[in-house]
Amino acid sequence: MSVVITDEILWAILNDQLSDQEAQSLVWQALGYVWDEQQSCWDVTAVAEEWRQDYPDPPQFIESRPATVKLTRSIPAPYKQLLKEELGFGGYSINELIPRKTRRATIVNWLLAYRRQQGTAAH
């Protein structure tokens, strides 16, 4: 399944205009998690072993620091600054620096890296 990630969607995540669940589900889809309606469970056959092993169900990135750390570490070094370079995101102000928002920024940076790796930049 191909996930289409537009700049509009990414800004909606950063600006808290997309729910946590919707933001996380974009990463889940990109990682290969698929909800199986018939079995009422997650199909993880397309999920990479390093994710499937630690997270047999999709990780709750907004709630879980360890899951977000793993997500951050999985961003290839050349793509670590895409928030700034591609979106021009200057970061949050000091009073906005709360775990929920910084984790949303991590999700966006990961999605930018995913988009770049897939060659599907959609502005």
| SS3 of 99-112 | HHHHHHHHHHHHHH
How many domains is the chain built from? 1
Tell me if 2 is assigned to some domain.
no
pTM for the model: 0.90
Contact 83, 108 (CB under 8 A): yes
CATH number for the domain harbouring residue 14: 1.10.418.90
Residue at 123 is within a domain? no
Which contacts (CB < 8 Å, 24+ apart) does range 14-18 have? Answer: 14/87, 14/89, 14/104, 14/105, 14/108, 16/101, 16/104
Percentage with pLDDT > 70 across the chain: 94
Range(s) of the domain holding residue 52: 7-118
Residue 19 lies in a domain: yes
33-37, 68-72, 94-98: segment of lowest average pLDDT = 94-98
Q: Which two tokens stand for residue 25?
A: 């589900």
**What integer is the mean pLDDT of 48-69?**
96
- What type of residue is 19? S
98-103 LR contacts (CB < 8 Å, sep 24+): 99/65, 100/20, 100/62, 101/16, 103/61, 103/62, 103/68
End-to-end Cα separation, the chain, in angstroms: 20
Residue 1 has pLDDT above 60, yes or no: no
